Amino acid sequence: MATISDVATRAGVSTATVSRALNGKATVDPELAARVLAAAEELGYRPNGPARNLRKQETAVLALIISDVENPFFTAIARGVEDVAHEAGYSLVLCNSDDTPEKEREYVDVALQERVAGVLLSPTGNEDTATLLARHSTPVVAVDRPLPERASDAVLVDNRLAAKHATLHLAGQGYGRIGCLTGPSGVPTADDRLTGYRDGLRAAKVAASSSLVRRSRFKAEGAQQAAHALLTQDDPPDALLVGNSTMAVGVLEALAALHLKPGRDVGLVAFDDAPWTTLLDPPLSVVAQPAYDIGALAARLLLERITGERTDTSTTTLSAHLVVRGSSSC
Partner DNA sequence: TTGAAAGCGCTAACAC
Partner DNA sequence: GTGTTAGCGCTTTCAA
User: Residue 27 or residue 210: which is nearer to DNA going by CB?
Assistant: 27
Please answer whether residues 168 and 197 qualify as being in contact, where contact means their C-beta atoms are separated by less than 8 angstroms. no
Please give the Cα distance from 180 to 291 (Å, whole number). Answer: 22
User: Residue 7 or residue 284: which is nearer to DNA going by CB?
Assistant: 7
Contact set for a copy of itself, span 199-228 (CB under 8 A): 220
Query: Does 176 interact with a copy of itself (rule: CB under 8 A)?
Result: no
Please give the Cα distance from 27 to 24 (Å, whole number). Answer: 9
Distance of CA 326 to the CA centre of its chain: 28
Please give the Cα distance from 266 to 175 (Å, whole number). Answer: 8
Residue 33: phi, psi to the nearest 5? -55, -45
Q: Which of 205, 235, 259, 275 binds a copy of itself (CB under 8 A)?
A: 275
Q: Which does 32 bind (CB under 5 to 8 A by kind): a copy of itself, DNA, none?
A: DNA
Q: Is the dihedral of CA 76, 78, 80, 83 positive or negative?
A: negative
Q: Which of 9, 37, 43, 48 binds DNA (CB under 7 A)?
A: 48
Q: Which does 281 bind (CB under 5 to 8 A by kind): a copy of itself, DNA, none?
A: a copy of itself
Interface pattern 7-46 for DNA (x via CB under 7 A): -----xxxxxxxxx-xx---xxx-xx------------x-
Please give the Cα distance from 234 to 211 (Å, whole number). Answer: 9
Q: How many residues bind a copy of itself (CB under 8 A)?
A: 51
Please answer whether residues 70 and 99 qualify as being in contact, where contact means their C-beta atoms are separated by less than 8 angstroms. no
Contact set for DNA, span 287-326 (CB under 7 A): none
Q: Which does 224 bind (CB under 5 to 8 A by kind): a copy of itself, DNA, none?
A: none
Contact set for a copy of itself, span 24-53 (CB under 8 A): 44, 46-51, 53
